[in-house]
């Protein structure tokens, strides 16, 4: 059986976890968390990065920091994970879904401006499959209407847009280190803060409403409760696991990219299949390899065929606007030309670190067999 995903494991994870245990420091913000923060800030040229307990928690923090009020509107794609939509709800904001582009499956930047109302306060750009949204256009609209931009870069760690790391372009970036993502700590994530004005508020929010972070840096001589807060910092055990992977980030990225390229060049020649599109200004991280079948019926047959041959391929999001939560909290602006249609065609192929040539060959051969090629 070829699984759809395997959690990435590079070899030093257990050693670092043992080190955290023997340091007698397993709560948050210890040595491993600091190593991860510094690495992420340096590598992505980010002003400030804070590890969180999940990608969802990073989104929650970002939306809370935006200072939204009940009745404010947030523009987002409908083709995304529930976390993108639940974060704005924390502040009582309403969701305005817009259609995606069929080529990248990202929010259609050309529709956003028409969806802006006097109540609009933020745009969430989801970088699907680690391929960037059209960020110049999105940032221009945001400046024009004074909107915050949150990048849901949960799938986009190590990807770039015009040379800039995803997550560092908007006001906030949100990464996920869930077991299904390219770099993992089991459950975890990170918030990228691109405007230093939010640094202090973010630290307080993350540390139960206290100024403990300032205290640890010796900037205040005792710490106290100062504002609204929650607990978003992960344990050192998880950070130790992640650190092993960040040390090997280039290996992991290159390894995934070579599997992706092999898929692409072999499947590209099959007629009647749609393939991912990566705009020239984007460098992606091979988070995902998907194909597009003719329609829902063909996709169902494809997934069944692959499963009978021991290969797990999976569809992805059910559009949020047609789900019970989406109907309750949001509305769809304009026409759904592509969100439903394209989501019904998409099937993801197995993709993980150190996928063997035998495994990729088997998947490719079975795809060819299904398409009688």
Ligand X SMILES: *Cc1c(COP(=O)(O)O)cnc(C)c1O
Q: Which residues bind ligand X (CB under 6 A)?
A: 54-56, 80-81, 83-84, 126, 152, 154-155, 176, 178, 189
Smallest separation, CB 22 to ligand X (Å): 28
**What are the percentages of helix, strand and coil residues in the chain, rounded to 5?**
40, 15, 40
By C-beta, is 176 or 253 nearer to ligand X?
Answer: 176
Alpha helices in 25-108 (DSSP H): 31-44, 55-65, 82-89
Smallest separation, CB 105 to ligand X (Å): 11
By C-beta, is 166 or 303 nearer to ligand X?
Answer: 166
Smallest separation, CB 62 to ligand X (Å): 11
Question: Which of 216, 187, 76 lies closest to 133, judged by CA?
Answer: 76
- What are the backbone dihedrals phi and psi of residue 79, each rounded to the nearest 5 degrees, phi first? -85, 85
Q: Regarding beta strands 290-292 and 346-348, do their DSSP bridges make them parallel or antiparallel, or are they unpaired?
A: antiparallel
| Tokens at 229, concatenated | 């807060």
Smallest separation, CB 214 to ligand X (Å): 27
- Residue 188, sorted as left (phi over 0), alpha (psi -120 to 50) or beta, turns out to be left
By C-beta, is 178 or 348 nearer to ligand X?
Answer: 178
Smallest separation, CB 82 to ligand X (Å): 8
- What are the backbone dihedrals phi and psi of residue 283, each rounded to the nearest 5 degrees, phi first? -110, 125
What is the C-alpha separation between 211 and 46, in angstroms, rounded? 22
By C-beta, is 30 or 55 nearer to ligand X?
Answer: 55
Q: State the DSSP H helix or E strand holding residue 75, giving kind and residue range, or none if neither.
A: strand 73-77
By C-beta, is 94 or 178 nearer to ligand X?
Answer: 178
| Tokens at 162, concatenated | 């015009």
Smallest separation, CB 83 to ligand X (Å): 4
Nearest residue to ligand X, by Cβ distance, number only = 55
By C-beta, is 156 or 273 nearer to ligand X?
Answer: 156
Smallest separation, CB 328 to ligand X (Å): 20
Burial 313-338 (b: 16+ CB within 10 A, else e): bebbbebbbeeeebeebbebbeebeb
By C-beta, is 152 or 207 nearer to ligand X?
Answer: 152
């Amino acid at each position: 059986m070829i699984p759809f995903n395997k959690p990435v494991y590079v070899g030093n994870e257990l050693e670092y976890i043992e080190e955290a245990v023997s340091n007698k420091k397993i709560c948050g913000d210890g040595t491993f968390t600091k190593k991860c923060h510094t690495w992420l800030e340096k590598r992505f040229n980010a002003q400030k990065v804070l590890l969180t307990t999940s990608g969802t928690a990073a989104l929650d923090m970002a939306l809370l920091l935006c200072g939204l009020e009940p009745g404010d509107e947030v523009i987002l794609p409908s083709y995304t994970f529930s976390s993108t939509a639940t974060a704005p709800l924390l502040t009582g904001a309403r969701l305005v879904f817009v259609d995606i582009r069929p080529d990248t499956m990202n929010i259609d930047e050309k529709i956003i401006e028409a969806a802006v109302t006097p109540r609009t306060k933020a745009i969430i750009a989801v970088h699907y499959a680690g391929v960037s949204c059209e960020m110049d256009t999105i940032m221009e609209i945001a400046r024009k209407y004074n909107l915050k931009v949150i990048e849901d870069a949960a799938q986009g760690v190590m990807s770039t847009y015009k040379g800039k790391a995803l997550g560092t372009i908007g006001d906030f970036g949100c990464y996920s280190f869930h077991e299904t993502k390219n770099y993992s700590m089991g459950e975890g994530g990170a918030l990228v803060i691109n405007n230093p004005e939010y640094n202090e508020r973010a630290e307080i929010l993350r540390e139960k409403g206290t100024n403990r972070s300032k205290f640890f840096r010796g900037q205040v001589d005792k710490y106290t409760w100062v504002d609204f807060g929650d607990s978003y910092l992960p344990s050192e055990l998880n950070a130790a696991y992640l650190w092993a992977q960040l040390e090997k980030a280039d290996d992991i990225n290159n390894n995934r990219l070579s599997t992706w390229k092999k898929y692409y060049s072999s499947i590209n020649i099959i007629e009647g299949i749609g393939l991912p599109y990566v705009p020239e200004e984007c460098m992606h991280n091979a988070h995902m390899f998907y194909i597009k079948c003719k329609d829902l019926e063909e996709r169902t047959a494809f997934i069944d065929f692959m499963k009978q041959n021991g290969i797990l391929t999976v569809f992805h999001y059910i559009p949020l606007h047609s789900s019970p939560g989406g109907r309750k909290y949001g509305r769809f602006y304009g026409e759904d030309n592509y969100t439903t249609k394209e989501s019904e065609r998409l099937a993801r192929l197995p993709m993980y670190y150190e996928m063997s040539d035998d495994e990729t060959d088997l998947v490719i051969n079975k795809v060819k067999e299904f398409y009688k090629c």
